[in-house]
Amino acid sequence: MKLCFDATKFGCGLDGAIELANAKSIKAVEFSFAPFAPAKANKKADDKEKKYFQAAGQAALEKDVEFACLNLDFCLDAGDKKSVKEFLPMIEKLADVAGNLGCKKVSFFLKPHSDDNWVEKFAELYPALQTSLAALNVSPLLRLSTPTEYRGVSLKKWRAMDPQEWRSLISSCPGLGLIYSPADCLWQGIEYLANLSAFATAIDHVVAHDVEINRTILSDSGTFGPLSMQFDDEFLGDDELSLDQALDESKRHFGRLLRG
């Protein structure tokens, strides 16, 4: 396992990232890119750009620094045609950049859709994605951390993927690797060490994020706000007695799990 860091925040560009990694004796870096404008995404790198990327790749090789991954800060909604149309040229453009740098991985975020079949929709477009990236000798990685655009945004407006969805994705999309985030598991209440072993064969990269859990807010509102007991079970009768008993039982069960 190699130690790596995301050099994007340092504002030194790709060549500066190599110098910084070399100065810190860190053997690998990753770099994140904001979504490209459509016109730029559809445009192949010109000779000047290619020379820059190739020179950066050569400098990395000479200093024994590896570009471990290039990240696209875009959250793909596989159930939205516009999102898919924007995503494919961007990820292919990034893969082309990665190829010139000698980097073998590109990553992206996925947005869980309100439809139950959003995983199937991504699985449908995945073969074409995998083929286009393979032509550039690059593999796709799915980032399980909070998408950049949703950091600091209330969970009323978005939700994270759950581990069952991770399982569905890697079983439906052969060769899709995962970038695992223990910090994101922590704030969701997922036992990240126990959970880790279930996905070990698919995990290509582990990110170390800092996370703060505000216990005051958590004890007041919980991670997702109010917990509402719903009585839509198909085996529950509609009569008043059955509903009353269900309410009492539910209160006993959940009451001991909630503070206050």
186, amino acid identity = L
Tokens describing residue 5: 């860091």
Burial (Cβ within 10 Å: 0-12, 13-18, ≥19) of residue 71: buried
Range with the poorest average pLDDT among 64-68, 122-126, 187-191: 187-191
Q: Which of 132, 171, 166, 35 is nearest to 90 (CA)?
A: 35
* Alpha carbon distances (Å) from 181 to 142, 177, 192: 11, 13, 8
36-64 residue pLDDT tens? 876 566 666 677 888 899 999 999 999 99
What is residue 33's predicted lDDT score, i.e. its pLDDT? 94
CA dihedral 212, 17, 36, 135 (to 10 degrees): -110
Q: Which of 11-20, 69-78, 249-258 has the highest mean pLDDT?
A: 69-78
Task: List the domain boundaries for the chain.
Answer: 4-214, 227-255
Q: At what angle do helices 47-62 and 81-101 cross, to 10 degrees?
A: 60
Q: Report the predicted TM-score, pTM, of the whole model to 2 decimal places.
A: 0.80
Class of domain 4-214: alpha beta
> Is residue 56 within 8 Å of residue 16, measured between CB atoms?
no
**Is 225's pLDDT higher than 60?**
no
Side-by-side strand order, sheet with 139-143: 4-6, 28-33, 66-76, 105-110, 139-143, 177-180, 203-206
**Is 228's pLDDT higher than 60?**
no
Centroid of chain to Cα 225: 23
Q: Which residues contact 2 (CB under 8 A, 6 or more apart)?
A: 27, 28, 66, 68
